[in-house]
Chains A and B, each alone.
Chain A
């Protein structure tokens, strides 16, 4: 039994539009163990993005948490009822995030290298220039990128897959314990997708980084994740070991997702 890294309890979030108030997430409970890859599956509108935004406390203006608590490494980091919130401090440092659109999450006016250095300077102020430089090179090489060329490049000069791997590099360079990825392969072509998935797999093995892999593609998730969680209409409807969920889905929605996947032969 892996030690629990993050546990979310009874999280509920609402979203306000000019005409109505919608429950984006209802009473969600979630656990991620150290070094575990957990897949969060659901279609658009299921509330999965809102859920992971809650982990980083990065909501838009019209979105609000109404209940819930979170525990990270045995310390309570968030509690709505008691107004506890240390999530902003943990952003980037303990929990990293990779977004869907590879270029959109990078500053178009800064080189990849300077964006990496910026993060290192913020979270590891004790490091010297040489140390920072070597870390940048190391993390880019880990992503299978030509560190010399990429660190001096701007986002528009790199392909989508390369940008996404650069974003992952920026997320992991300070070695957070947990990485949340929001549909990070959906905007890529098949080859780039495979590259990124490969890189993510190696990450969890080499750094023991836990990952919350959010996607609508259950097949992709099953390749990568130890456990699967299924979400529909803001509610978590199913959860368990990947093989279990695929073999014996209990909820009709899960069954629908699995049967919708085209199979060979």
Chain B
């Protein structure tokens, strides 16, 4: 316990703010069902299109207003966090693992395998993300799993190039050559020496990607091929809200702000994490 407090003291004020906000964000998402919120999918056609409470016509019951079906906007905002976080993190983990594995293989083995992997990665990067996602989802049908898979599909290529370069650099270091000469198996070299050193890089890349995934998921949901109902997603809320933009501006404004704040938070937290890792990068 004491060690924890001591470590806490070392963190700068700014990072402490980030840490608390992150904690708050995650707990809101986790505890959403027990909070005193309206059912995000609860339709109440009599309370359709209420403006936010601070405007005329609004009501305290619905602080940020309601949509066409009478569903509470604030509640949908908070519940939207759950799926957003789960989808983004899952997609990032999936993509990162797949891409890094390929990157390590390409960098370590070199030669033909490397060329093959590099060519395929380049080809993948040439494919426009949304169109690829559309083609996959249209063929397979909308589902959460499909969504996560598609997002991972779009993200894996970024890791390959960078991890490959890092692996190459480490492989060329004297001590690795020494290990290979002395008969150490490739497997062991990779797991004991290469992976610990590239882990920081992978983490840095991954934190950058989470923000991108959130934006990508909201774009797909906006186009109607993202989170399937009854899942709550800010992107699909924007899609349904857009038809009422002239009379119910709150339906379009608040979900968007949620997206921006979440992505900003993730990016800033990622930046801090990145600089923390950069300073103690080479461990060997």
A and B touch in the complex (CB under 8 A): no
- The interface of chain B, by Cβ under 8 A from chain A, is none
